[in-house]
Amino acid sequence: MTQSKSSNYILLAIRVFVGILFIFSGLIKANDPSGLAYKMGEFFEVWAKEEYLPSLMHWFNNYSLELSVLMIAFEIVAGVALIIGYRFKIFSFLILLLTIFFTFLTAYAVFSGKIKECGCFGDCIKLKSFESFMKDIVLLVLIFILFFFRNKVTQWFSFKVATGIILSAFVFSFLIQWYTLKFLPVKDCLAYKIGNNILKEMTPGDDYVPEEVKTILRYKKDGIVKDFDLTNYPWQDSTWEFDSQVNEVIKEAQNEPPIKDFAISNYDGENVTNQILEYKGNLFILFVKDVDEANLSNMNKLKALISDCKSSHIPIIAVSSSNDIQTNQFKEKNQLDIEFFTIDGTVCKTAMRSNPGLMCIKNGNIIGKWSYASYPMLTNLHLDLNNNSAPLFDKSTINE
């Protein structure tokens, strides 16, 4: 009898621990569903390039955000179900399948070296691929125990009450994701959060060691593809035909700066990053990752802000990863009196989770961020305009 009670207590402890871990993991990712979607897209893109059902991988990539939202909701609901013992046979089986899948993903990241981070706990708690893999191994063992002893688990509440708890968790999981997708993450864990200085985040420390990259040249002959580098390339044999070039990371960078590739240029190729980040006054930057997918629901408020900025001599610019033809069409269609510049798409979606979204900086310091749903009124910001008399761009100092 004592041994049976001890076993039940151990099983209960595992249930509660695993359930809390799933809820915690889901809530952290619910803070930024787009981040998980981008990470899922990274996997899909790698698998598509590796010719693992490329059509299916591209299809999954198109719906990565929807898949992200569903997976986060399931993690939260499943965690609650584990704790209260709701439909335990079904949920223990589903969680076992999900954990096997997670273990496969982290194992792939570790042994392929093609994915650096798995995004298990979002950007707020970063785990390296190996750390995520070991976490999933331990978790898999615990869930196997729960699944094996699933018949011994009893539900804590009546079926009606337990169903109400599960439905509440289900609704809550979608509501919190709706909020963060519409109004930006509640807690910004990225390098572009309010209070950070972009210039400082771009500056490497004394302990920075850049990555070492080896260029591999792939040539083919008689249906055979072979890898060469500069040390063994068959210079004397011209029958080899070039196939592709691959850059292989031999040694990863150490202590990289949090922001590595923030760069803004005009559509003539002139780099204006320093002028933007070193501007002493207040400056608004509208981030529009893709003009064709931009949310247009609050354009009147945006246009009012642009007009007020011009009247108050506050520079406001837009950056996008779309080309100049697309951005010009976007400007004309929406009657936006604003100049567009180009930025890398990955940088754009990292700096701003909303498309479009607005950032206010001063001398490189991020002092405000707003999604398309919450553009501010200039009069409510009470900005210090003492340094806004100077023009943003001094043409003589644009970097070629």
If you average pLDDT over residues 283-304, what whole number do you get?
Answer: 93
Q: Does 120 score more than 90 pLDDT?
A: no
Whole-number Å distance between alpha carbons of 210 and 170? 45
What's the pLDDT tens digit per position in 62-88?
899 999 999 999 999 999 999 999 988
| Cα separation, 320 vs 306, whole angstroms | 17
Q: Does the structure show a pLDDT above 50 at 90? A: yes
Residue 230: the pLDDT is 65
Phi, psi of 360 (to 5 degrees): -115, 125
128 or 328: which carries more pLDDT confidence?
A: 328
Rounded to whole angstroms, how far apart are CA atoms 89 and 146? 9
Name which residue leads in pLDDT, 149 or 1.
149
pLDDT in tens, 210-256: 767 777 777 887 777 777 776 676 666 667 777 766 666 667 767 78
* pLDDT of 22 strictly over 80: yes
Signed CA dihedral, 85, 87, 89, 93: sign only:
negative
Residue 305 CA to chain centroid, in angstroms? 28
Phi, psi values for residue 214, rounded to 5°:
-110, 130
pLDDT value, residue 400: 40
Sequence spans of domains, the chain: 2-183, 212-251, 273-397
Q: What is the pLDDT of residue 399?
A: 42
Mean pLDDT of 283-310: 93
Q: Which is nearest to 183 in space by CA: 42, 291, 395, 31?
A: 31
For the domain 273-397, what is the CATH code?
3.40.30.10
